[in-house]
C-alpha cells in the first residue's frame, strides 16, 4: 500500500483515478513550512541556520499524511517537477521525520511533466531520491530573499516614512520601470520629415517609393529636419525624370519560433490575448491539471513552469503527423526541428510547454473561454514550431535622377510559400500581413519613371514606450533577473505595494516607488544593479548544479550586504532628503517658465522647496513651513497645492468660495469643507488608490460635492444618486443601494446603467446581483460540490455548500486559485466547529491549585537565574 503526495487537490483527484485502490493520493496544498515572518528566522551568526514553521493551515495536511502512513509502507513524493516542487518534497520529508512517521517506510521521489495516465505510470516506474542540489538552491534563494527583506525594509521604514518594503528581485524590476519613466521625462522630441511618391515606370502600376538620396547625400530617417529642406526635396522629386537603376529580387526565409517557455507564454498571452502574467499562469495551471474528457480527467498541457524549448521525441513525431494530415506533407520539414534556449541562465531540464496530445485540436474541446484561448495559443505555437519555414521574395527597386544625386527606393515582399504562417505568426494576429509591404509591379532596369504624386509629412520622434507586462518580462529575462516562474508574483507585489500602477496596460511608477528606488540607488547601489542581480542568479545555478555550496554563496553575500547596512545606520533623515533632492531633481524641481530658481517657493518667494516625507508618502513642501503651507505632489507643476503634515489647504471651492482641507483622521485621510448655515462640515474619505499627495483642487471638489445626482428614476421620478460610502462607491434610489465597481463610475455613470443596477438589486431581494451570480467558477471541492467566487457587502468571498470564506485583502477575485479557496474554506469550517464547542466547565479550587503551584515554581526558577 502506497501514499502518494501531490500539491493540489485537483491533481490528487485525477491521479487517484489513474492509480487505483492500492494507492492513497493526498494533497499538501503547496508548501507545508515556511520561515516565520520575524527577525531571527535566518541566523547568519549561526552559519545561516534557518527556522522553519508549519502554519496552522498546513498542520492538518501533514497530520493527514502521517496518519495515512500508519497503514501504508511506502511514501511517494510526486510534487511539481521544478525547484519549488523539490523543496516541497524536502519540507514534507523533514516534517514527517520529526513526527517519526517515516520509520520503516520506503520513500521515493517521482516527477511527471504532464498529468496523463501514461506520464504518471512512467514516472512511478522510474523513482529517484530528492535532489538535494535543487533543494540547496531553493534554501539559498529563500534565505537571500529573507535577509534582504528583513534587513533592508526596516532601514526603509526609518529613513523613508511611508515606504513599505524592498524585495531582492522586485526592487530591480522597479528600477527598470522608474528608469524608463525617467527616459520618457528627459526625452526631447526631434522633428523630421519624410518624402514619398507614387511612381509609374513605363506604364506599370503605381508603386510607393521613398526618398533615399538628395543633393548627393544619403537620406536616413532623421536626415531632413526642417520644412524648407523637405519642400525643396519634394519639388525635386516632382520635376525629376527618373530611370530604374536596379531591380533586385532576393528570396528569404522565416523560421518558426520555438515552443513556449514560461516567459514567452506570458509575453505572447499578453500581446495576443491581453492576459497579465498572473492570469496566464492561473489558466495554464488549470490546463495542466486537466479537464474531464470521456469521464476521465486529463491534463491538456505539459508543466507550465519551464525554461526549456525542447520537446519529447514522441511528441515531435505526433506533431509532424498532425501537420501532414491537416496541411499536407509539403508543410512537414525533412528533418525534425531542434531548439536551444538563448535566454541567460536558462534551465532546460524540462520540456517546453506543449499539448499532451497534438491530436486534441482546440476545436474538439469544450473549455471555459480563457482556457480555450490559451490552449489554442499553446497548441498553435507548438505545432508551428515543427512546420516548414515560410518562403518570401523581397524585391527592391532603385530609381535615380540627376546623375544619381536624387534617388528613390521601393521595397516590397511577397510570400511564395506560407509554411508555418498558415497556422501562426508571433506577436501578430494569424491573418495579419507579416511586414505590411506591398507586392511591387514587374519593371525593367533602364525603364523611365515619373512621380505621379508626392507625400511630404512632418514627424516627431517618440519617447521609448513604458513597459507592458510582456516587454518587462522579456527585459528581465534578457538581463537574467529572477526566474520566469516568479515573474507573475514579482509584478503583482509591485502593484500591491502601490509602487506602480497600470495605465493602458503599461507600468507607471508611483511617486512612492520612485523615492524608494532613488534611495536604494544612492545608498544600496550594488543591490539594485542588473549585473549584480544576474550574477546572483548565476551563482544560484551553480548551487543547483552542485558546483557551489549554498552557504558559501550566503557568506559572500552577507559579508558585504551587512557591512553596507551598518554603514548607513547612523544616517540622518536630513541627509537622505538632501540626496533625494539631487537624485530626483528632474522630477520634483521642473524648470519654471519665468526662469527663476526651480527650488524657490512660488508661493512665498522666500522658502526653498524640498522633498518632504510624511506617513502617507513623499511630497514637495516649502522650508518656510508653517508660515508658508505651499505643497505639491512629486512631479507637480507648482499650480495645485496638496497635502502637508497637519491640515493641508487644498484650495477654495469654485462655487462656494470656502477652503477645502485635507486632514488625517482616525480612519485615514479625508477632505473637509465648512459651509455657512450648515451645522456639520462636509466630509469625504479618499477612495482606495487615491494617494493624499495626488489630491488637487479638481479632485477635492469632485469628492466633497458627493453624492452626485444622476437623474430621476423613470418609474417614480425620485432622484438616483451616486456616491462614496462605507462599503465603497454606490448608486442609490430610495432605500436601495447598488455597489459600483470603481470610484470612476461615481462621476461617469448615466441614468440607464444606474436604473439597471438598481433594478437588479431589487430583483435579488436586496442582496444584489453579484450575490446571485458568481464572479468566477473555480472548480470542484475535493469533497464534491462547486466552489465559487462571490461579491458580498463586505468584499469578495469564496463559497462552497453553506460555507463562506472572505478573501484576504491581498488576494483579488481574479487571482484566487482553487487551492487557495479550499484552504480558506477548510480554515473557516474548522473555525466554525471551534465556535460551536460547549463552553469549558469552571475549574474547581482543587483544579486550580496545581496550576498555582506550577506558577510559583516557575517564578522561583526564574529568580534563581
Q: What cell was used for 541?
A: 545555478
Residue with C-alpha cell 533592508? 152
Residue 321 has pLDDT above 70, yes or no: yes
Mean of the per-residue pLDDT values of the chain: 84
- Pairing state between β 631-632 and 53-54: unpaired
pLDDT on residue 773: 62
CB 65 within 8 A of CB 7: no
Question: Which sequence spans correspond to the domains of the chain?
Answer: 2-130, 140-187+466-574, 191-251+394-410+437-460, 262-388, 585-676, 708-770
Closest to 552 (Cα-Cα) out of 544, 561, 543: 543
CB 322 within 8 A of CB 380: no
| pLDDT bracket for residue 717 (50, 70, 90) | confident
> pLDDT digit string (tens) for 218-271?
999 999 999 999 999 999 999 999 999 999 999 999 999 999 999 999 999 998
> pLDDT digit string (tens) for 488-521?
888 888 888 888 988 888 999 988 888 888 888 8
Phi-psi region of 404 (alpha: psi -120 to 50; beta: other; left: phi over 0): left
Query: Omega into 707 within 30° of 0, i.e. cis?
Result: yes
833: number of Cβ within 10 Å: 9
| pLDDT bracket for residue 616 (50, 70, 90) | low
Query: Omega into 626 within 30° of 0, i.e. cis?
Result: yes
**Which whole number is the average pLDDT over 618-630?**
82
272-286, 330-344, 570-584, 804-818, range with the lowest pLDDT: 804-818
pLDDT on residue 850: 41
**Which whole number is the average pLDDT over 305-312?**
89
Instruction: Round to whole Å and give the CA distance between 511 and 635.
Output: 8
Sign of CA dihedral 85, 89, 90, 95: positive
- CATH code of 140-187+466-574, in short, is 1.10.460.10
| 797 part of the active site | no
271-285, 343-357, 795-809, range with the lowest pLDDT: 343-357
Which residue intervals of 70-116 are DSSP H helices?
A: 83-98
158-162, 559-563, 780-784, 825-829, range with the lowest pLDDT: 158-162
Provide the percentage of residues in the chain whose pLDDT is more than 70. 88
Instruction: Round to whole Å and give the CA distance between 144 and 560.
Output: 13
| pLDDT bracket for residue 824 (50, 70, 90) | confident
Contacts of 587-595 spanning 24+ positions with Cβ under 8 A: 587/182, 587/185, 587/514, 587/634, 587/635, 588/620, 588/634, 588/635, 589/620, 590/635, 590/637, 592/638
Q: Which of residues 860 and 426 earns the better pLDDT score? A: 426
CB 187 within 8 A of CB 464: yes
Q: What cell was used for 79?
A: 510534487
**pTM score of the predicted model:** 0.68
> pLDDT digit string (tens) for 380-397?
999 999 999 999 999 999
Q: Which of residues 830 and 322 earns the better pLDDT score? A: 322
- Pairing state between β 736-739 and 23-27: unpaired
pLDDT on residue 428: 59
Sign of CA dihedral 660, 665, 667, 668: positive
pLDDT on residue 33: 92
DSSP state of 484: G
pLDDT on residue 615: 59
pLDDT on residue 161: 64
**Which whole number is the average pLDDT over 152-176?**
79
Q: Number of C-alpha atoms within 13 angstroms, CB side, residue 422?
A: 20
Residue 76 has pLDDT above 90, yes or no: yes
pLDDT on residue 636: 54
pLDDT on residue 74: 93
CB 200 within 8 A of CB 452: yes
**Which whole number is the average pLDDT over 675-682?**
84
Task: Tell me, rounded to whole angstroms, the distance of Cα 646 from its chain centroid.
Answer: 36
CATH fold of the domain at 2-130? Rossmann fold (3.40.50)
- Pairing state between β 648-652 and 631-632: unpaired
CATH fold of the domain at 262-388? Topoisomerase I; domain 4 (1.10.290)
Sign of CA dihedral 686, 688, 693, 698: negative
The architecture in CATH of the region 191-251+394-410+437-460 reads Distorted Sandwich (2.70)
**Which whole number is the average pLDDT over 584-602?**
83
Exposed, middle or buried, 379 (CB in 10 Å: 0-12/13-18/19+)? Answer: buried
Q: Of the residues 192, 303, 467, 487, which is catalytic?
A: 303
Instruction: Round to whole Å and give the CA distance between 597 and 497.
Output: 34
pLDDT on residue 401: 95
Amino acid at each position: 500500500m502506497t501514499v502518494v503526495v501531490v500539491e493540489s487537490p485537483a491533481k490528487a483527484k485525477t491521479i487517484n483515478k489513474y492509480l487505483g485502490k492500492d494507492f492513497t493520493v493526498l494533497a499538501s496544498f503547496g508548501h507545508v513550512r515556511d520561515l516565520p515572518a520575524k527577525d531571527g528566522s535566518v541566523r547568519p551568526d549561526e552559519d545561516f541556520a534557518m527556522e522553519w514553521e508549519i502554519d496552522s493551515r498546513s498542520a492538518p495536511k501533514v497530520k493527514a499524511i502521517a496518519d495515512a502512513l500508519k497503514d501504508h509502507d511506502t511514501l511517494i513524493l510526486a510534487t511539481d517537477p521544478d525547484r519549488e516542487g523539490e523543496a516541497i518534497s524536502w519540507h514534507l520529508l523533514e516534517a514527517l521525520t520529526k513526527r517519526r512517521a517515516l520509520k520503516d517506510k520506503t520513500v521515493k521521489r517521482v516527477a511527471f511533466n504532464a498529468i496523463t495516465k501514461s506520464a504518471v505510470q512512467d514516472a512511478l516506474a522510474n523513482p529517484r531520491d530528492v535532489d538535494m542540489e535543487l533543494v540547496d538552491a531553493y534554501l539559498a534563494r529563500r534565505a537571500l530573499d529573507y535577509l534582504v527583506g528583513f534587513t533592508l525594509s526596516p532601514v526603509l521604514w526609518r529613513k523613508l516614512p511611508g515606504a513599505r518594503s524592498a524585495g531582492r528581485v522586485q526592487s530591480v524590476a522597479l528600477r527598470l520601470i522608474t528608469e524608463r519613466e525617467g527616459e520618457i521625462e528627459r526625452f526631447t522630441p526631434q522633428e523630421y520629415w519624410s518624402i514619398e511618391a507614387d511612381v509609374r515606370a513605363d506604364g506599370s502600376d503605381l508603386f510607393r517609393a521613398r526618398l533615399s538620396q538628395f543633393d548627393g547625400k544619403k537620406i536616413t530617417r532623421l536626415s531632413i529636419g526642417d520644412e524648407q529642406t523637405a519642400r525643396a526635396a519634394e519639388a525635386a522629386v516632382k520635376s525629376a525624370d527618373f530611370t530604374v537603376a536596379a531591380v533586385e529580387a532576393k528570396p528569404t526565409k522565416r523560421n518558426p519560433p520555438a515552443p513556449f517557455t514560461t516567459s514567452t507564454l506570458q509575453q505572447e498571452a499578453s500581446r495576443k490575448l491581453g492576459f497579465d502574467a498572473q492570469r496566464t499562469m492561473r489558466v495554464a495551471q488549470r490546463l495542466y491539471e486537466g479537464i474531464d474528457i470521456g469521464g476521465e480527467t486529463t491534463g491538456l498541457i505539459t508543466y507550465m513552469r519551464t525554461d526549456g524549448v525542447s520537446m519529447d521525441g514522441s511528441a515531435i513525431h505526433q506533431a509532424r503527423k498532425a501537420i501532414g494530415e491537416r496541411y499536407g506533407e509539403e508543410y512537414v520539414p525533412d528533418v525534425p526541428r531542434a531548439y536551444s534556449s538563448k535566454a541567460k541562465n536558462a534551465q532546460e531540464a524540462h520540456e517546453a510547454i506543449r499539448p499532451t496530445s497534438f491530436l486534441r485540436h482546440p476545436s474538439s474541446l469544450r473549455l471555459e473561454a480563457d482556457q480555450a484561448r490559451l490552449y489554442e495559443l499553446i497548441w498553435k505555437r507548438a505545432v508551428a514550431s515543427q512546420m516548414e519555414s515560410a518562403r518570401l521574395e523581397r524585391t527592391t527597386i532603385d530609381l535615380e535622377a540627376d546623375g544619381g544625386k536624387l534617388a528613390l527606393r521601393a521595397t516590397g515582399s511577397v510570400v511564395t510559400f506560407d509554411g508555418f504562417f498558415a497556422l501562426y505568426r508571433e506577436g501578430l494576429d494569424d491573418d495579419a500581413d507579416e511586414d505590411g509591404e506591398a507586392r511591387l509591379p514587374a519593371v525593367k532596369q533602364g525603364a523611365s519613371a515619373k512621380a505621379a504624386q508626392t507625400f511630404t509629412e512632418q514627424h516627431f520622434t517618440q519617447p521609448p514606450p513604458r513597459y507592458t507586462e510582456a516587454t518587462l518580462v522579456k527585459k528581465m529575462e534578457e538581463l537574467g533577473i529572477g526566474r520566469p516562474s516568479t515573474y507573475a508574483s514579482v509584478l503583482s507585489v509591485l502593484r500591491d505595494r502601490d509602487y506602480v500602477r497600470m495605465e493602458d496596460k503599461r507600468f507607471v511608477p508611483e511617486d512612492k516607488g520612485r523615492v524608494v528606488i532613488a534611495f536604494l540607488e544612492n545608498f544600496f547601489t550594488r543591490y539594485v544593479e542588473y549585473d549584480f542581480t544576474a550574477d546572483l542568479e548565476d551563482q544560484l545555478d551553480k548551487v543547483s548544479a552542485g558546483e557551489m555550496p549554498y552557504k558559501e554563496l550566503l557568506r559572500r553575500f552577507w559579508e558585504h550586504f551587512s557591512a553596507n547596512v551598518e554603514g548607513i545606520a547612523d544616517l540622518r533623515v536630513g541627509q537622505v532628503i538632501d540626496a533625494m533632492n539631487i537624485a530626483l531633481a528632474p522630477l520634483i524641481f521642473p524648470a519654471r517658465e519665468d526662469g527663476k530658481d526651480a527650488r524657490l517657493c512660488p508661493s512665498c518667494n522666500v522658502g526653498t522647496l524640498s522633498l518632504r516625507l510624511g506617513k502617507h508618502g513623499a511630497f514637495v513642501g516649502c522650508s518656510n513651513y508653517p508660515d508658508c503651507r505651499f505643497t505639491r505632489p512629486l512631479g507637480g507643476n507648482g499650480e495645485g497645492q496638496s497635502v502637508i503634515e497637519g491640515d493641508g489647504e487644498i484650495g477654495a471651492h469654485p462655487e462656494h468660495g470656502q477652503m477645502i482641507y485635507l486632514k488625517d483622521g482616525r480612519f485615514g485621510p479625508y477632505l473637509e469643507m465648512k459651509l455657512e448655515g450648515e451645522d456639520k462640515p462636509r466630509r469625504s474619505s479618499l477612495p482606495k488608490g487615491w494617494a493624499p499627495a495626488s489630491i488637487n483642487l479638481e479632485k477635492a471638489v469632485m469628492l466633497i460635492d458627493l453624492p452626485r445626482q444622476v437623474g430621476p428614476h423613470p418609474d417614480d421620478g425620485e432622484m438616483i444618486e451616486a456616491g462614496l460610502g462605507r462599503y465603497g462607491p454606490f448608486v442609490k434610489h430610495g432605500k436601495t443601494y447598488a455597489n459600483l465597481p470603481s470610484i470612476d463610475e461615481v462621476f461617469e455613470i448615466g441614468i440607464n446603467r444606474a436604473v439597471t443596477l438598481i433594478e437588479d438589486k431589487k430583483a435579488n431581494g436586496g442582496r444584489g446581483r453579484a450575490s446571485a451570480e458568481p464572479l468566477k467558477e473555480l472548480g470542484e471541492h475535493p469533497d464534491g460540490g462547486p466552489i465559487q467566487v462571490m461579491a458580498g457587502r463586505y468584499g469578495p468571498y469564496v463559497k462552497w455548500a453553506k460555507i463562506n470564506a472572505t478573501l484576504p485583502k491581498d488576494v483579488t477575485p481574479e487571482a484566487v486559485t482553487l487551492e487557495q479557496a479550499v484552504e480558506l474554506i477548510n480554515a473557516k469550517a474548522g473555525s466554525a466547529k471551534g465556535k460551536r464547542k460547549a463552553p469549558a466547565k469552571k475549574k474547581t479550587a482543587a483544579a486550580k491549585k496545581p496550576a498555582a503551584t506550577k506558577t510559583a515554581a516557575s517564578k522561583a526558577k526564574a529568580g534563581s537565574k
